[in-house]
Amino acid sequence: MKNLLIVLCILPVIFGISCSNTPQTESTGNTVLENILSRKSVRDFIGKKVENEKITILLKAGMAAPSGRDLRPWELIVIQNRSTLDSMAAELPYAKMLNKAPMAIIVCGDSIRSSYWYLDCSAVSENILLAAESLGLGAVWTAAYPYEDRISTVRKYTNIPENIIPLCVIPVGYPNGTQSPKNKFDEKKIHYEKFQ
């Protein structure tokens, strides 16, 4: 987690990246918390290509995720081929936005390396989503696992072996317009000491 905080706090400064596309949330004085609270699912993109430096930052942020027993069972596939993105959009029921996204990151896990790969890969996915937000990009998690038809579609276009299982496909790009984050805080879901 400490590595992610460093990535989120200093890389935009190092690379001169502005987060001006991110809608303002209530100021907490804490850049990391503001980024977390500003994260939203973006499903509409402009055609602008995502720069290689930003792709690298997304991948590094993803791999800064915690991992049980430090096994790091993740494998990340970057898709930028327009034909592949369009074909996957046509076949994946909840990933139609791939037809507008300039790229996608497929987060996969090695089921031989770790029996709880999907937990570690979920942390990787959230890190990628948060890093995208911090870079002025939009992204959305679309599930592949545990749906066999979606897993098969991803396999068809990526040639991944049987032990590598796609958890999700994350379309990434520059948002088309301004989206606002949802306030998901719900005090009724908080319990102290015992479930009430």
CATH number of the domain enclosing 128: 3.40.109.10
Query: In the prediction, which pLDDT does 26 show?
Result: 65
- 63-114: pLDDT as tens digits: 999 999 999 999 999 999 999 999 999 999 999 999 999 999 999 999 999 9
**Average per-residue pLDDT for the chain:** 90
Beta bridge partners of 139: 41, 172
Residue 5 confidence (pLDDT): 47
Count of Cβ atoms closer than 10 Å to residue 107 Cβ: 28
Residue that wins the pLDDT comparison between 7 and 127: 127
Question: Cβ distance 179 to 40 under 8 Å?
Answer: yes
- Coil, strand, or helix at residue 21? coil
Model pLDDT, residue 176? 97
Do residues 106 and 155 touch, judged by C-beta distance below 8 A? no
Q: Which residue has the tokens 């396999």?
A: 155
Residue 45's closest CA among 184, 173, 194?
Answer: 173
Q: Is a pLDDT exceeding 90 seen at residue 33?
A: yes
Q: Please state the rounded mean pLDDT for residues 121-132.
A: 98
DSSP state of 172: E
pLDDT at residue 196 tops 60: yes
Q: How far is CA 170 from the centre of its chain?
A: 5
Query: What letter represents residue 70's amino acid?
Result: D
The count of domains in the chain is: 1
Domain annotation covers residue 84: yes
- Residue 18 is assigned to a structural domain of this protein: no
- Residue 151 falls within a domain, yes or no? yes
For the whole model, what pTM was predicted? 0.86
Domain interval for residue 85 = 44-177
Average pLDDT (20-24) is 43
Q: Which is more confidently placed, 3 or 157?
A: 157
